[in-house]
Amino acid sequence: MKTRPVKTRPVTPADLPGVDRRRLLCALAPLAVLHGALVVAQAELLVRALAPPDAGPLPWLAGVVALRALTSWAAAALAHRAAARAKADVRAALLRVRGGPTLIVRGLDALDPYLTGYLPQLAAAAAVPPLVLVRLLTADAAAGLTVMVTLPLIPIFGVLVGRYTRDATRLQWRRLERLGGHFRDVLAGMSTLRAFSRTAHQEGEVRRMAEAHRRATRRVLRIAFLSALVLELVATLSVALVAVPVGLRLLDGDIAYRTALLVIVLTPEVFLPLRALGSRFHASAEALAAAEETARVLGRAAPRPTGRILPPGDGDIRLEDVSVRYGERAALDRVSLVIRRGEAVALTGPSGAGKSTLLAVLLGLVTPDEGRVLVGGVDLRDLDLAAWRRQIAWVPQTPHLFAESVADNVRLGAPRASADAVDRALAAAHARGFVESLPDGPDTVLGERGAGLSAGQRQRIALARAYLRDAPILLLDEPTARLDPDSERAVVQAARGLLRGRTAVLVAHRPALLADADRVIRLSDGRVVEEVRR
């Protein structure tokens, strides 16, 4: 896959990785030329068969028709192939930067009209009109010249009207998104609306927003469709402009019947590809928006600067004046502390005190805005992060369970662990009981985000994950929040077992877990306010 520098001014789908516009156009060009030649041949043979009526050319005509269909099939199939490949490449690129989830799943389909409609039509519009025009000019110079004069009106008007409507269309696109957002927000809050008896009021609001959207769209479309109207008028009036004089010249015997008929058959064929190009272009407006969005997501993801990469040692972990800011709020405010190997440090403090942020800093998920984290005297920024994380097992406050089997979820940090090892980890995490009652035991595939399991069960799966990881450092983030007393007891027991013989930082409110800590550090507003040694 190649990557191109993302341009600053309007991004088109052609700027995306995996979209090789030139290559596709080069592949389509011979087909387009062949198509143009076949259009001329078809007209020629049809005219021979009609003026005067003669069945002779008809088999040839059928052959040309078949060939034309084959050409159009080849061009379309080629474009679809390229589109599928391009979308897969863009999806892969987005997956790698973990951005644009809606783009990946559905949004990129908006590229289809551009890749399978606009680009092939671009090739046709470049090749067919000149070929047909040449034949027209050689058949009858006057008619050919008429067409030649009116033909440029199509791109000129197309560009003029298009430019005029582009901003309006873009505005419309954004308004549409906002309306969708409003409707979704209202639906999401339905039970709240119901609880406060506001559903009737909101129904009027939904109707009003939908009507407003309809009116606004109508205004925009009235202008946007003008371009199509102009293109169509130019095309049809040109046919009239050619047909009437040719008819009159026939009366005078200035032109042969066969030639006249050929002119009438060929004239619309000159305009057709250009008109189609205009409508394909409009149909791919969403592709431009999707491309812009994709480029934005891809451009936003800056790779982590890799400086010196040192293997992590097993020395003490030292935070020196670490500050982390989220916007204006300081989540951590010049925190300094030392965590010695083998000791268990508990963090307490009110919500928003910075406890989870501190764990994220230790994991390297969040880089301090000021200060530094030293591991055995080496700055975390200079460490091989992957190797550092291999030393850590983390049980987050709300662990994410993946749409895979329970066993694979437990294997997250040890992909090659045996079924036995998984089973032992589940047992140690007090999770074996409920896991075995699942339909396929540990092989049960979970729904999205672990749907089907309760909060306590998820927490225990996360603990099993940590067990299997078997890392020397353990980070535990409020493993018992939102648990009922029974689950809490099970989780506390499991967590205690996990603490044994490990360096641990645990965020906890409940006395049950605090008892196992060597030190309790109290945080408030991102600062260490108290330290109790046990």
Cα–Cα distance for residue pair 523/534, rounded to 1 Å: 17
Distance CA 38, CA 62 (A): 12
Least distance from other proteins to the Cβ atom of residue 458, Å: 10
State in angstroms the smallest separation of the CB of 142 from other proteins. Answer: 14
CB of 396 to other proteins, least distance (A): 7
3-state class (DSSP) for residue 311: coil
Q: Which is nearer to other proteins, 164 or 321 (CB)?
A: 164
- Closer CB to other proteins, 189 or 371, in the complex: 189
Residue 10 vs 229, nearer CB to other proteins: 229
Given the complex with other proteins, which of 172 and 345 has the nearer CB atom? 172
Q: Which is nearer to other proteins, 185 or 420 (CB)?
A: 185
Residue 507: closest CA among 352, 383, 382, 372: 352
**Contacts made by residues 379-385, CB under 8 angstroms, sequence distance 24+:** 381/307, 382/307, 382/308, 382/309, 382/310, 383/309, 383/310, 383/311, 383/312, 384/309, 384/310, 384/311, 384/312, 385/304
Residue ranges of alpha helices (H) inside 411-454 are 419-428, 432-436
Local structure of residue 523 (DSSP, 8 states) = E
CB of 331 to other proteins, least distance (A): 10
For residues 214 and 408, what is the distance between their CA atoms, to the nearest angstrom?
49
Q: Which is nearer to other proteins, 7 or 534 (CB)?
A: 534
CB nearer to other proteins: give 7 or 58: 58
Of 310 and 481, the one with the shorter C-beta distance to other proteins is: 481
In the complex, the smallest distance separating the C-beta of residue 8 from other proteins, rounded to whole angstroms, is: 27
At 125, list the tokens.
């519009």
Smallest distance from the beta carbon of 242 to other proteins, in angstroms?
Answer: 9
How buried is 502 (Cβ within 10 angstroms: 0-12 exposed, 13-18 middle, 19+ buried)?
Answer: middle
Q: What are phi and psi of 45, to 5 degrees?
A: -70, -40
To other proteins, the closest distance from the beta carbon of 478 in angstroms equals 10
Measured from the CB atom, the residue of 501 and 511 that comes closer to other proteins is 511
DSSP 444: P
Q: How far apart are CA 406 and CA 391, in angstroms?
A: 23
Separation CA 86–CA 316 (nearest Å): 49
Q: What is 31-96 written as a DSSP string?
A: HHHHHHHHHHHHHHHHHHHHTTT-STTHHHHHHHHHHHHHHHHHHHHHHHHHHHHHHHHHHHHHHH
Q: How far is the CB of 516 from other proteins (least distance, A)?
A: 14
Q: Which residues of 68-83 are buried (b: 16+ CB within 10 A; e: fewer)?
A: beebeebbeebbeebb
Q: Is the CB of 260 or the CB of 270 nearer to other proteins?
A: 260
State how far the Cα of 367 lies from the Cα of 124, in Å rounded to an integer: 53
Cβ nearer to other proteins, comparing 56 with 307 = 56
Question: How buried is 51 (Cβ within 10 angstroms: 0-12 exposed, 13-18 middle, 19+ buried)?
Answer: middle
d(CA 36, CA 135): 11
Q: Which two tokens stand for residue 121?
A: 């039509």
Q: Which is nearer to other proteins, 206 or 374 (CB)?
A: 206
Q: How many CB atoms lie within 10 A of CB 516?
A: 17
Q: How far is the CB of 152 from other proteins (least distance, A)?
A: 18
Residue 138 beta carbon to other proteins: minimum distance, rounded to whole angstroms: 19
The distance of closest approach from Cβ of residue 97 to other proteins in the complex, given in angstroms and rounded to an integer, is 10
Q: Which residue has the tokens 């360096």?
A: 503
Determine phi and psi for 105, rounding to 5 degrees: -75, -45
25 vs 221 by CB, closer to other proteins: 221
Minimum distance between the CB of residue 319 and other proteins, rounded to whole angstroms?
Answer: 18
- Continuous segment of H or E residues that includes residue 277: helix 257-283
The distance of closest approach from Cβ of residue 146 to other proteins in the complex, given in angstroms and rounded to an integer, is: 14
Q: What residues contact residue 517 under an 8 Å CB cut-off, 6+ apart?
A: 344, 345, 346, 504, 506, 508, 534
